[in-house]
A and B are shown apart, each in its own frame.
Chain A
Amino acid sequence: MNVKFLGWISSLAGRREMQVDIDNPAKLGDILPFSLQGRSIIIIVNNEPGSGETMVKNTDQVTLMPVISGG
């Protein structure tokens, strides 16, 4: 599974991208290197809105993006 961290979330994750191998579907929140608790973060799984509770699998593309305001 590929996870992209955009904007300041890359600082939180300590990287801009992460490749994870998961044998069985798992909760996204359990895989991330930081807690989603109390943070305003947009989660996109395969172009659809997701959350920490979304069950993800190896072939998924996940993007975590900040809420921004557009220049």
Chain B
Amino acid sequence: MHGWNGKILRVNLNKKTSAVQSYDKDFALNYLGGRGFAARILWDELPAGTDPLSPQNKLIFATGPLTGLPVASSGKIVVAAKSPLTNGYGDGNLGSRAAVTLRKAGYEALVVEGKADSPVYVLVEDDSVEIMDAKDLWGKGTFDAEDDLTATHGKSAGVLLIGQAGENLVKFAPVMSQKGRAGGRPGMGAVMGSKNLKAVVIKGTKDIPLADPDSLKELGKDAYKDIKGKESYDFWIRQGTMQALEWANESSCLPSYNFREGVFDEAKGIDGYKVEELKVDRRGCPNCNMQCGNVIKDVEGQEAELDYENVGLLGSNLGIGNLKEVALLNRLADDWGIDTISAGNIIGFVMEASERKLIPENYKWGSVDDARTIMEAIAFRKGFGNTLAEGVRHSAATIGKGCEKWAIQCKGLECSAYDCHAAPGMALAFATSSIGAHHKDAWLISWEIATDRSGYNKEKVAKLIELQQLRGGVFESLVACRLPWIEVGFALDWYPKFLKAATGEDLSMDNLKTAGDRIYALIRCFWKRENPDFGRSWDIPPERWFTEPLTKGPMKGTKVDREGYTRMQNWYYEMRGWDSNGIPTRKTLEALGLADVAGALHIA
């Protein structure tokens, strides 16, 4: 087989064993890699009802047929498991040298099973696999621990690891790499911690088998040149994703004060232009020529890497308009290994609860000290932080008194940085995202604002599904960064060409979208299997967006219309071939080659 190594590495921490499993071309073509591989493995191998923090859960690191190749932004890896935060399918991708080295060691995926007796890390060096003692690393932040591992194993080693938050089983702890890259928001870091696994270190020196290496090299070169030549490239290099802050503020979709206002009076203090003023460095993922990690010095003089999501949630959502203060929170979150999006969302929730005097603590909007106190309590599960570490849904249920209405989450995952009061299609995108409220699967809001943001129509739903096929399906499974495509206008038709040169297969965008649908349907069935009451009531955005209109800005007074939303939800199910409860029908599953899944769920 070309393009794929055809091998999955298995490590069992209980038995202290490893094994190599082969897979065939059918599996590769049906599930592509990354999210597709992870979803199928979890469906096939996890006993229904598995406790996500038990040794039975499986932690999957998965790459795809484009990962690690000399093509645009291909240095990413997906990390997946059953989520302890949502009890459904969880994953995320992050840029890491480990993405490239895993492929060069000869594998597309690493599946970690069981639980070690004491802290360990897994060391993969091509065919050699060792389970190493990590007692000295346990308790360390991700920055120091990665430095230690790099000092021991060299700079060519790719490192994926957790901080104290993952060790403490904070349910939104992600997996970290390269001091600032994070993936697996729905608690993949907690799953790693539950296995006593501090890190995975991977070195690889082999060639990835390619159908036409010369063509791929040429294509890769042309693609990098194409990206660099785009009109928007220079500005991207200046601001990266941080340009979205001004964009969101002007569009009334910037989270502020726990997703109440959509705009932020102090936005200029934390926007992309402010980043340009303060920038000291730029970082990024391997194989990328449009690196987007903006580094500034925080209020303590330490370097912190910023992007829009972090600043939206840890800045405007908390009423903090000083970028250096936001950078401090961001740096601590990265070091402790806590998800910046969920952390900012939950801290905003706590500040509102304090404002309403629903909790005894007195926290103030705009106070970086208060935000830091709350985040530290979460990361180390101190006091009320122990409750908050379970996520905003759980925290709201614990406090009660109606605050569930302004716990900004879907399916238990905290919403990322887009207020959807005036973007009903984006609200549906959050609500139908395959991991809970995350923007990566379908960022509809740009399209929605450009066309008809107040409308509830079929075109919007069709566009949402197309974006889910591409972003959540294709990019998460190939595995490559989607940012070149939209951000600088790198054309989608490069990807079938890359795939042809890498794998020898003629895979059209339509083929890839079908694979995306297959993967999405499988994930949907996974949620159903793990949560018998799963259904349409799980696809509802936060109540605040329906009932409490925006309080400021040009869209003041706007909220999501519930009837309009329900109509779009119904169309969404119809277009996807799912029943009125949001479960894929047998016909749909059979057409996608998932008859076995229909059988397992007893779908008539």
B482 touches A8 (CB 8 A): no
Is A66 within 8 A of B250, CB to CB?
no
- Stretch among B54-62, B94-102, B235-243, B571-579 lining the A interface: B235-243
Quick check: is B232 within 8 A (CB to CB) of the other chain?
yes
B310 to chain A, nearest CB (A): 8
Contacts of A67 in B (CB 8 A): 446-447, 450, 486
In the complex, what's the smallest C-beta–C-beta distance from A16 to chain B, in angstroms?
8
A49 to B452, CA, bound (A): 7
B234 proximal to A (CB < 8 A)? yes
B250 touches A7 (CB 8 A): no
Q: Is B533 an interface residue (CB 8 A)?
A: no
Contact A69–B443 (Cβ < 8 Å): yes
Q: Are the CB atoms of A12 and B250 closer together than 8 Å?
A: no
Q: Find the residue from A4, A67, A70 having the highest chain B CB count within 10 A.
A: A70
Q: How far is the CA of A61 from the CA of B308 in the complex (A)?
A: 26
Contact in complex: A70, B449 (CB < 8 Å)? no
Interface size band for B: 35 or more
A68 in contact with B243 (CB, 8 Å)? yes
How many chain A residues have a CB neighbour from B under 8 Å? Answer: 22
**Measured CA separation A66–B235 after assembly (Å):** 11
* Docked CA distance A66–B234 (Å): 14
Tell me the residues in window 44-69 of chain A with beta carbons closer than 8 Å to chain B beta carbons.
44, 47, 49, 63, 65-69
- Chain B residues with Cβ below 8 Å from A69 are 443, 446, 482-483, 485-487
* A61 to B: closest C-beta gap in Å: 8
Chain B residue numbers with a CB within 8 Å of A11 are 234-235
CB of B172 to closest CB in A, whole Å: 17
A interface footprint on B483-505 (CB within 8 Å = 1, 0 otherwise): 10111010000000000000000
CB interface residues, B 423-453, toward A, < 8 Å: 439, 443, 445-447, 449-453
> In the complex, A8 Cα to B240 Cα: how many Å?
10
Does any Cβ of A come within 8 Å of B300's Cβ?
Answer: no
**Interface of chain B, main secondary structure:** helix
A71 within 8 A of B: yes
Residues in B295-320 with C-beta less than 8 Å from chain A? 307-309, 312
- A54 CB, min distance to chain B CBs, angstroms: 13
Most buried by B among A39, A40, A69: A69
Most chain B CB neighbours (cut-off 10 Å) among A11, A12, A43, A68: A68
B418 on interface, CB distance cutoff 8 Å: yes
Assembly CA distance A8 to B487 (angstroms): 10
Interface residue A20 (Cβ < 8 Å from any Cβ of B): no
Given A68-B243, A71-B417, A7 and B235 touching (CB < 8 A)?
Answer: yes
* Given A7-B235, A8-B236, A11-B234, A68-B486 contact (CB < 8 Å): yes
Determine if B588 is an interface residue (Cβ-Cβ < 8 Å). Answer: no
Closest 6 CB pairs of A and B: A8-B235, A69-B486, A8-B232, A70-B443, A71-B308, A42-B450
**B-side interface residues toward A, CB under 8 Å?**
231-232, 234-236, 239, 241, 243-244, 246-247, 250-251, 307-309, 312, 416-418, 439, 443, 445-447, 449-453, 482-483, 485-487, 489, 554-555
Beyond the given A67-B446, A69-B446, A70-B445, could you list 15 further A-B residue pairs with CB under 8 A, ordered by the A residue number?
Answer: A4-B250, A6-B243, A7-B232, A7-B247, A8-B232, A8-B235, A12-B231, A47-B554, A47-B555, A49-B452, A65-B250, A66-B232, A70-B308, A71-B307, A71-B416
9 contacts between A and B (CB under 8 A): A11-B234, A40-B489, A42-B446, A44-B251, A49-B449, A65-B247, A69-B486, A70-B418, A70-B445
